[in-house]
Amino acid sequence: MAACKRGYRVYSCVSPGGGPLRAEGMSLVEVLATLAILSILLTVAVPAFDAMITSSRFATSANLYLTSLHLARSEAIKRNGRVALCKSADGATCTANGRWDQGWIVFHDVNNNALADGGEEILRVYEVLPADLALSGNLPVANYVSYGALGASRLTSGAFQAGTLTLCRLSTGGGEARQIVISMTGRPRVQQVNVAACP
């Protein structure tokens, strides 16, 4: 095997098989083709990834509200008294203004007025939802949800309280949404829907 001298180092001028050495690596055309394929894949994958993140945020926020309903219902049964949820921007008092996405509280509603009065125990505070999500309820559940000692949802008048809260994305104005449906017995469930407009 012949050897080539370059300075003080010795380099092999032939490959172990006897032929001349070939440069290893990728040509410019191969690199450009790889980049083109990668850019096409990213163009397809990024919107799908965004949809997956949005769907996950919907599910997380809907499940958060669902969990608070389950908490209120179980606490009402455990305490043998009224426990309610209401919209709350400050985490201490109820408000009739705005939507549920501003935050809400679960509290022991001793006097059954659906307001967190001074001596009533606040059981849990839920913070504001992500900025592009809106959570609003139809008339029976627009401001509060209240559970009695038997676990049924009731208005302050004593009538059954059933209703639907809709969680949607403000930036799209409609499309994919989640609804939290509260039955006449007080049992909540989440369903996936499409809405024409997001309030």
pLDDT in tens, the chain (199 residues): 455 555 555 555 555 666 665 667 778 888 899 999 998 888 887 777 777 888 888 899 999 999 999 999 999 999 999 999 999 999 999 999 999 999 999 999 999 999 999 899 999 999 999 989 999 999 999 999 999 999 999 999 999 999 999 999 998 888 889 999 999 999 999 999 999 998 7
Domain encompassing residue 90: 60-195
Question: Domain of 184: which CATH number?
Answer: 3.55.40.10
CA dihedral 156, 158, 162, 166 (to 10 degrees): 0
170 within a domain of the structure (yes/no): yes
Q: Within 21-136, where are the H helices?
A: 28-79
Smallest CA-to-CA distance from 115 within 88, 90, 148, 142 is with 88
- In total, how many domains does the chain have? 1
Helix (H), strand (E) counts: the chain = 1, 10
104 within a domain of the structure (yes/no): yes
112 within a domain of the structure (yes/no): yes
Answer whether 13's CB lies under 8 Å from 21's CB.
yes
35 within a domain of the structure (yes/no): no
Instruction: Indicate yes or no: pTM above 0.85.
Output: no
